[in-house]
Amino acid sequence: MNGIKNLSKTDPEITYWIKKEAKRQKEGLEMIPSENYVSPAVLEAMGSILTNKYSEGYPHKRYYGGNDNIDEIETIAQKRAKKLFKVEHVNVQPYSGSPANLAVYLAVCQPGDTIMGLDLTHGGHLTHGWKVSATGIFYKSIQYHVVNSDGKIDFVELRKLARNYKPKLIWVGATAYVYQFPFKELSDIAAECGAYLAADIAHVAGLVIAGAHPSPAKYAHIITTTTHKTLRGPRGAMIMVTKKGIVKDAELPDKIDRSIFPGLQGGPHDHTTAAIAVALKEASRVSFKKYGKQIVKNAKMLAKELIRYGFKLVGNGTENHMNLLDLTPFFGPGGGFFAQYALETAGITVNKNTIPGEPSSPFYPSGIRIGTPALTTRGFKEKEMKKVAFWMKEALEAVKEYKLPQNKEDRKAYLDKFKKKVHANKKLLKIKNEVKKFASKYPIFAG
Ligand SMILES: Cc1ncc(COP(=O)(O)O)c(C=O)c1O
């Protein structure tokens, strides 16, 4: 493995686990929709000496000396993001997606103000006002939902809630949603009640740049995104203000910047800022456009094959990079756990997820979320996705007799027994071997 020569001498214990993780990433099929493989260039920027610096403040307005070089790097990152996303203002300092979203609340709301976001069990993110998140504790959160039958946002409910509650801020965006985000409809609803519209495009940012998903730039006032999902950068985030945002509130860029620093954070992670700049340059290439479009083609092929094998998909397919499998016909309520575990044993990493109208619970949900960004980075196309769909089907069939005990007391013993059986399941081990042989032929960027 490249890049850990020194580490392997000074800390064999950590080296051991990094190597094991590198092997897992190479030999398995990574299908968590929010994950990806960064390029060696992004990795080098992340691992650079920029981590040594303190730079509280913003370019040319710092609280520490010695920031001339950092000023240049941060300005380049901002310029690249502005150009790619066609926005007026960008803050590249949020430590990750969750603090970026919290900064939006801090910028445009007072504690106790009403906000609206998509319910977590219907695909929304924690930071869109879910009850256990700071965003649901410090603000009065009204959650909207999807229609159970097709998994699409319920606009009748959303419009009614927005009229009744007159929120200060509305979120559009999600963590498990298989349709393109309806930015225009949400912008009309936000306009009716005078709310700020924040588009959280964490999942689809790379698709937006590639032209494989509509851009919210014309519709939202604020856009937030993580930089480590389809955008294929380091773990980090950005907050952007659009032209429309400035028309609504000329002070919005300043409010956003002040809510990140000094409102929520101290020194920015300059090594991450540099890696974001590198990822943005990579995303400006023609090859990235092809990459983004291929992600969607791959997800559609996976959907087609899984449907052909008789699986039930929320929305009957996908318009983006992920599919949401409703496994209730297979395992009954709460079967996402069995699916995730069996697939992982077979070398395929996915995550269990709630489905619209979830009959079980977020910890024992009835679905799984499967994404194609990471496999597409490895060069997988439709042909390879057919193989992946076949292995998924085989792995799920190997455990289909399991049902989650409805009595909570009976669960632990049942699940322990399930895990033991799964580890000894010959069919799953055979798939794991096939997956390993196959996956190892497709390099991961990081090497
Ligand atoms: C839509 C959305 N927003 C925000 C986040 C939060 O990002 P982070 O995990 O970097 O805090 C996520 C993470 O999965 C997400 O899916």
CA pair distance 63, 56, nearest whole angstrom: 6
pLDDT (tens, 9 = 90+) of the chain, 447 residues, equals: 557 889 999 999 999 999 999 999 999 999 999 999 999 999 999 999 999 999 999 999 999 999 999 999 999 999 999 999 999 999 999 999 999 999 999 999 999 999 999 999 999 999 999 999 999 999 999 999 999 999 999 999 999 999 999 999 999 999 999 999 999 999 999 999 999 999 999 999 999 999 999 999 999 999 999 999 999 999 999 999 999 999 999 999 999 999 999 999 999 999 999 999 999 999 999 999 999 999 999 999 999 999 999 999 999 999 999 999 999 999 999 999 999 999 999 999 999 999 999 999 989 999 999 999 999 999 999 999 999 999 999 999 999 999 999 888 999 999 999 999 999 999 999 999 999 999 999 999 743
CA pair distance 293, 412, nearest whole angstrom: 43
261 lies in the same domain as 292:
no
Choosing from 175, 228, 230 the residue with most ligand 1 atoms within 8 A of its CB, the one to mutate for a pocket test is 175
Does the beta carbon of 141 lie inside 6 Å of ligand 1? Answer: no
Identify whether 199 is part of a domain.
yes
Among 253, 283, 313, the domain boundary falls at 283
Helix axes 270-283, 68-85, angle to 10 degrees: 40
Assigned token pair, 176:
């498990």
Choosing from 95, 119, 122, 127 the residue with most ligand 1 atoms within 8 A of its CB, the one to mutate for a pocket test is 127
Pairing of strands 89-91, 237-241: antiparallel
The β-bridge partners of 143 are 117
Among 240, 256, 283, the domain boundary falls at 283
Q: Which of 358, 342, 323, 325 is nearest to 400 (CA)?
A: 342
Identify whether 354 is part of a domain.
yes
99 lies in the same domain as 150:
yes
For residue 348, give its domain range. Answer: 288-439
User: How far does residue 422's CA lie from ligand 1's centre (Å)?
Assistant: 31
Residue 208 C-alpha from the chain's centroid: 14
274 lies in the same domain as 341:
no
Residue bearing the CA closest to ligand 1, atom 16: 175
Our count of domains for the chain comes to 2
- CATH code at 292? 3.90.1150.10
Helix (H) or strand (E) holding 432: helix 426-439
pTM above 0.85, yes or no: yes
Q: Active-site residue numbers?
A: 54, 56, 200, 226, 229, 235
Q: Which of 41, 97, 49 is nearest to 271 (CA)?
A: 49
User: How far does residue 170's CA lie from ligand 1's centre (Å)?
Assistant: 17
Assigned token pair, 150:
């097709």
User: How far does residue 98's CA lie from ligand 1's centre (Å)?
Assistant: 6
Those residues whose C-beta lies under 8 Å from the C-beta of residue 430, and which sit 6 or more positions away, are none
Q: Which of 302, 299, 305, 391 is nearest to 343 (CA)?
A: 391
Identify whether 19 is part of a domain.
no
